[in-house]
Structure 1
Amino acid sequence: MTAYLELKVGGATNRVSLYVLIALLVAAGLALMGRLVEALITIFLVLSLLELLELARGE
């Protein structure tokens, strides 16, 4: 079971997995430390895109 956070932007409601949100926050924090973590950020972004595709399919 995955927990979701519902974000209301404009008139649309978007569901975002809390795991993806935490991963993006961690990636942003690592980015502040230096450029050596660009590979990690890329991995987190790819995982985020996969999560969005899963939501678009109507999980």
Structure 2
Amino acid sequence: MRVMNRKNLTSKQRRSATVEAVIALASSSNPSEITTAQIGAYMDVTQGALFRHFSSKQEIWTA
């Protein structure tokens, strides 16, 4: 299931949606090769939007 872009998500909801997107991407790709650009594209958000909720790619992985 593809994550839909909802402009009015809370930070907590956006973080949860990001984790769900990473799990979905990891089911078809090697997790070490997943980029923040791919995560953003999957979620239909920019990389900048991701980094408003996570300070680094590592923080996304540890969430």
TM-score range, shorter chain: 0.3 to 0.5
Asked which structure has the greater CA Rg, the reply is 1
Q: What TM-score comes out, normalization by structure 2 length?
A: 0.36
Name which structure has the greater RCO, CA cutoff 8 Å, separation 6+: 2
Q: What TM-score comes out, normalization by structure 1 length?
A: 0.38
User: Which has more strand, going by share of residues?
Assistant: 1
